[in-house]
Amino acid sequence: MTPPRRPARPRYALKLLGALLEFNTRWVGDVAAAGLAGRFFEWLSIAHPHNNVHNMRLCRLVADAKVLPPEALAELQAVDRVLAVLAYAHENDVEPFLEPALRLCASLMNDVGPSESQKVIASLHVLLELAAGPDPDAALSAAHCLLKAAHLHPGDAAAVLATGDNVALLIELMGPRGAAGSGAAAAAAGGAGGGSGGGGGEQQEGWPQQQQPPPQLAAFQADLAPLLLLVLAAVVEARPGLLREHGAALRPAVTACLQAVGDAGLKRRWARLLAAQGG
């Protein structure tokens, strides 16, 4: 007699469904019509057995497809849930959860409404620490979350990010030597096969001639630096006194970062900010 077949494990079912919905995002509406969209967010909990990276991907696909209205996302406590998962992953070094949770957080902030997106403000220090973390993908996702929070709630974000510890971390992240000391940069450098940086290529400003950043690190900095400049610009615009309070450290860091990035729009924006404060 053939034994009964075991049902497929939910983890693999979630993985397969996520792959299908990424292949054709129009199917997300069908999944929502079947009543599953809300279930994904109900499973977004540290204590739930279905809470995994595949379920977080499904939550993000639902958020990106906008098949649930802001009221439904608020009722599901979507923002609270993802922030709780993110805090747990950060505190307990559950690295596989970090980047999916950050991407979901960024997606939710687009559509949940101001009262819900404002909840992210309480987690800005965590996001800033993750921007300096060992995973470049998570670091960039954290920077995107910081930027969205600064744009949606500039005054509240400025009040948090303008504190001494957070300003110091922003300055460290913007400088090439600071980035080299951060976890994300160290991981990128390690993946490049050491810090000797042999080979050709144009020397990057701020790096000793004999110790140029490896390509992975240079690419990471090129992606992260504009985001940090935009975050800091939003903070300074909401709190102009920040340049007076921390100008001795901020101005050189911003100037060096702008030179490395070379973005004309960012340079014009920062030129106005620095000129307004006598820079």
Structure tokens at 255: 């100037």
Instruction: Give burial (CB, 10 Å; 0-12/13-18/19+) of 106.
Output: buried
What string of pLDDT tens digits covers the 279 residues of the chain?
A: 454 454 447 777 877 767 877 788 788 888 888 888 999 999 999 889 888 999 999 999 999 999 999 999 999 999 999 999 999 999 998 999 999 999 999 999 988 999 999 999 999 999 999 998 878 899 999 999 999 999 999 999 999 999 889 998 988 888 653 343 344 433 433 343 333 333 444 444 443 444 444 444 444 467 888 999 999 999 999 998 888 888 888 899 898 888 888 889 999 999 999 888 665
> Which has the closest alpha carbon to 241: 278, 277, 279?
277
Residue 92: Cβ within 10 Å count: 10
What letter would DSSP give residue 278? Answer: T
- Confidence (pLDDT) at 175: 67
- Confidence (pLDDT) at 217: 43
pLDDT digits (tens, 9 = 90+) for 161-189: 998 899 989 888 886 533 433 444 334 33
Say how far residue 239 (Cα) sits from the centre of its chain.
Answer: 22
Q: Where are the domains of the chain?
A: 9-152, 155-177+219-278
CATH architecture of 9-152: Alpha Horseshoe (1.25)
> Which has the closest alpha carbon to 100: 58, 50, 128, 47?
58
